[in-house]
Amino acid sequence: MKKKVIILGSGIAATTVAFFLQDKCDVTIVTKGALSDNNSALAQGGVAAAVGPNDTAQAHYEDTLTAGAQLNDPDASQILVNEGAEIIRELIKMGVPFDRLGDGSIDYGMEGAHHHPRILHAGGDQTGKYVLEFLQRKLSSKVKIEANTTAVEIFPEDNKAKILVIANKQFRTIEADFLVIATGGIGQLFPVTSNDKTITGDGIALAKRAGAELADMEFIQFHPTLLNKPGSSLLISEAVRGDGARLVNKSGEYFMADVHPDKDLAPRFVVAREITNQFLKGEEVFLDISTVQNFRARFPYISRSLDKAWIDSTLIPVKPGAHFFMGGVKTDLNARTTLGNIYAVGEVARTGVHGANRLASNSLLEGLVFARRAAQDIIARPQKDENYQTEKQEPTIYKQNLPTLEELKNRAWESIGIIRRPEKIREFLAWLEEFDDSVPNANRIDFEISNLILISKEIARAALARPVSIGAHYIEEEND
Ligand code: SIN
């Protein structure tokens, strides 16, 4: 009998695990929304890999560690850059349509904190979507897909994993030899985010309730440039600044010139913080794209989205928003969590490759590399228990006292957002303690709120435990 593997999620990491397992295992993808509801499908920036002329994996490694404030796991980061280059070469050979120059060679782009042009793009600013859809097309019909199905609780057992899911208001228990969590990060904890609407930290909360270890929970990356328009969450890629766009305030001042030697391409946390300071001074901030050559051709998705938002000026109003979570479920070099048969891959996992701040375009790469490792590890492991004893798992679900999502988001923004103050975090934590997050909830929105509460508590505690600023974690000292 083939090993049974359940994969939760639908982004690059989930799809890559399924791709590498499909011939050897019985694979089911279980996802809360549609197959396209994930952050990978929104990833504009590209995928970084040392595959171009004169580049080396060692140079990519050094940039990764510098961006991560040296808090990265060195072994995991070496694997990222070395195996990352290998996988990208394979994807090029397989025919992923990465953007090319007139002479047919790959067009390698630059992004903040890279010291070599090593970002591959596809469809201009639609890299995640192109790579994801390419891999989805490579999945055979043997891979079963259960969309609109939410995993609400997981039960690790010695030789298998049990997952309680809900679909069409009906609970069901699924058993598998291995479970791979690939549900993405936590962006929807904040009122402003580049993340998909489904990204509510579910996998992290599920894993924590089941007893898995979490790590690096204080490190959240805020992207400096999201469109500043009510109701919009459009990301204006860093690649636009890589192509020469500049941040200015409403007085026309080019403020990044005085803040950091890398100016607009300074680390994201530096730029996001400076924009926040500009807002605190009563300024507005714009991305001036008048100097970008062929903007529409280079950034077709952003251009179309700006048209839809009625932005027809070369001064695009921008604000920072939550973008990427460096923390998450702690995993080893083979993507195993601290729970026997349960793996975590992609943004939900804390592999250690990002340290205190992720280097631009390293996230799709992380998803690909550690998803392949998880698949290889699963294939290599013995199948211990061939005879499932299907035992129905009763949901431990009840109606909880919960705040509204809006209130949680606003309080999270003020307390564990871009600029943190210990007394604000303590106040937030005391407020969070009023709410019980220990069991899932049958109602979808309450389920997501209780997951975000659990995660907020972990972030707040981790932020207080690190009283000194580093990387994306900026905390004002007690008497500032
Ligand atoms: C961007 O395009 O600015 C985001 C890409 C990334 O986060 O790596």
What confidence score (pLDDT) does residue 437 get? 87
- Return the best residue to mutate from 63, 118, 223 for the ligand 1 pocket (most ligand atoms within 8 A of CB): 223
360 CA: nearest ligand 1 atom? 8
Q: Is the CB of 41 under 6 A from ligand 1?
A: no
Distance (angstroms) between ligand 1 centre and the Cα of 42 equals 10
Distance (angstroms) between ligand 1 centre and the Cα of 265 equals 12
- Return the best residue to mutate from 130, 238, 357 for the ligand 1 pocket (most ligand atoms within 8 A of CB): 238
The CA-based angle 198-203-205, given to 5 degrees, is: 105
Residue with the smallest CA separation from ligand 1 atom 5 is 45
Q: Where in the chain is the domain with CATH 3.90.700.10?
A: 224-321
Q: Is the CB of 48 under 6 A from ligand 1?
A: no
Which regions of the chain are under pLDDT 70?
A: 385-399, 440-442, 479-480
Q: Is the CB of 45 under 6 A from ligand 1?
A: yes
Catalytic residue among 118, 241, 246, 268: 268
SS in 3 state form for the chain?
A: CCEEEEEECCCHHHHHHHHHHCCCEEEEEECCCCCCCCCHHHCCCCEECCCCCCCCHHHHHHHHHHHCCCCCCHHHHHHHHHHHHHHHHHHHHHCCCECECCCCCECCECCCCCCCCCEECECCCCHHHHHHHHHHHCCCCCCEEECCCEEEEEEECCCCEEEEEEECCEEEEEEECEEEECCCCCHHHCCCECCCCCCCCHHHHHHHHCCCCEECCCCEEEEEEEECCCCCCCECCHHHHHCCCEEEECCCCCHHHHCCCCHHHCCHHHHHHHHHHHHHCCCCEEEECCCCCCHHHHCHHHHHHHHHCCCCCCEEEEEEEEEEECCEEECCCCCECCCCCEEECHHHEECCCCCCCCCCCCHHHHHHHHHHHHHHHHHHCCCCCCCCCCCCCCCCCCCCCCCCHHHHHHHHHHHHCCCECHHHHHHHHHHHCCCCCCCCCCCHHHHHHHHHHHHHHHHHHHHHHCCCCECCECECCCCC
Q: Is the CB of 110 under 6 A from ligand 1?
A: no
Distance (angstroms) between ligand 1 centre and the Cα of 461 equals 28
Residue with the smallest CA separation from ligand 1 atom 2 is 45
Q: Where in the chain is the domain with CATH 3.50.50.60?
A: 3-149+324-391
What confidence score (pLDDT) does residue 108 get? 95
Q: Is the CB of 400 under 6 A from ligand 1?
A: no
Q: Is the CB of 237 under 6 A from ligand 1?
A: yes
User: What pTM value is reported for the model?
Assistant: 0.95
Domain 3-149+324-391 matching CATH 3.50.50.60: the answer reads yes
What confidence score (pLDDT) does residue 385 get? 60
Distance (angstroms) between ligand 1 centre and the Cα of 381 equals 35
What confidence score (pLDDT) does residue 159 get? 79
What confidence score (pLDDT) does residue 45 get? 81
364 CA: nearest ligand 1 atom? 8
Q: Is the CB of 37 under 6 A from ligand 1?
A: no
CA atoms of 184 and 163, how far apart (whole Å): 18
Mean pLDDT for all residues in the chain:
94
Q: Which CATH number fits domain 224-321: 2.60.120.1270, 3.90.700.10, 3.40.190.10, 3.40.50.720?
A: 3.90.700.10
Q: Is the CB of 150 under 6 A from ligand 1?
A: no
Active site residue 421: no
Q: Is the CB of 39 under 6 A from ligand 1?
A: no
Distance (angstroms) between ligand 1 centre and the Cα of 37 equals 18
What confidence score (pLDDT) does residue 111 get? 84
What confidence score (pLDDT) does residue 44 get? 86
